Chains A and B, each alone.
Chain A
């Protein structure tokens, strides 16, 4: 993997469903993995920053895992709500100075 990739590109789920998406990243020069939530008409908001292989982070109904050896991270949302509708960005920190972002996963939660 040469770039940060995210899948799926977009997702539509019913309110109450649980969902997850994937971030794949080059693991050769890994410093940290970032997850952000970007709601329409707002600026991206940091959810998690993870650095260690096997890291798991949780914030309310949202959680994330990290596998640095194989270069992927999963974001899980339990019991999706309409307010979870947003684009979820992951970014890999490849040095002390910069973060490279993936294209994002657009989530729509249908009431």
Chain B
């Protein structure tokens, strides 16, 4: 069966520090991969998605970036965190083809910027 791993579960970082969140999927090949953020009191905002290795689409301009170095690995990064980067980050995957396929989410990372 397919599983998704996301870490760390919680992270406290100072303003201006770098960030690296990692997400890996097991049990499937060539998944679509997604990074979402939920800011306090708001819904899920799509940040990045990827349909293949090295292919990244950005939904919102920001100081975050994403990379997909391997088929089932998706990394969210920042060189310098801002206070506004605080929130709950979720990684998700879906089967690469077929509009009826749901998204499967990881457990999330709670990021607090001090």
Which residues of chain A from 1 to 53 have a CB within 8 Å of any chain B CB? 6, 31-32, 34, 36, 42-46, 49, 51
Question: Which one of B11-19, B62-70, B95-103 is at the interface?
Answer: B95-103
The minimal Cβ–Cβ distance linking A68 to chain B, given in whole angstroms, is: 12
What 20 additional pairs, Cβ within 8 angstroms, besides A49-B102, A51-B100, A96-B97?
A: A6-B43, A32-B99, A32-B100, A36-B102, A36-B103, A42-B107, A43-B90, A43-B107, A43-B108, A45-B105, A46-B104, A49-B100, A51-B99, A89-B43, A93-B99, A97-B51, A99-B103, A100-B46, A101-B45, A101-B46
A36–B59 Cα distance when bound, in Å, is 21
Interface of A is mostly: strand
Given contacts A97-B51, A104-B43, contact A43 B106 (CB under 8 A): yes
A51–B100 Cα distance when bound, in Å, is 7
Binding site for A on B (CB under 8 A): 32, 34, 36, 42-46, 49, 51, 57, 59, 90, 97, 99-108
Number of A-B contacts (CB under 8 A): 57
1/0 per position for A70-108, CB-CB distance to B under 8 A? Answer: 000000000000000000010101001111111110000
A: number of interface residues (CB 8 Å):
24
B46 touches A98 (CB 8 A): yes
The minimal Cβ–Cβ distance linking B47 to chain A, given in whole angstroms, is: 11
Which chain B residues lie closer than 8 Å to A36 at the CB level? 102-103
The residue in chain A whose Cβ has the minimal distance to the Cβ of B41 is A103
